[in-house]
Amino acid sequence: MADPRPSRGPVAGGAILALTIMAGVVVGVALRQPSIGLLGGIAVGTVISILIWRRDRRS
Give the pLDDT confidence score for residue 56 in this predicted structure.
81
d(CA 17, CA 40): 11
Give the pLDDT confidence score for residue 19 in this predicted structure.
95
Residue 1 has pLDDT above 60, yes or no: no
- The model's pTM is 0.77
d(CA 25, CA 16): 14
Residue 9 has pLDDT above 70, yes or no: no
Give the pLDDT confidence score for residue 55 in this predicted structure.
85
Residue type for position 45: G
* CA nearest to 54, candidates 6, 10, 5, 8: 10
User: Residue 27: which H helix or E strand, with range?
Assistant: helix 14-30
**Greatest C-alpha distance within the chain:** 61
| Percent over 70 (pLDDT), the chain | 80
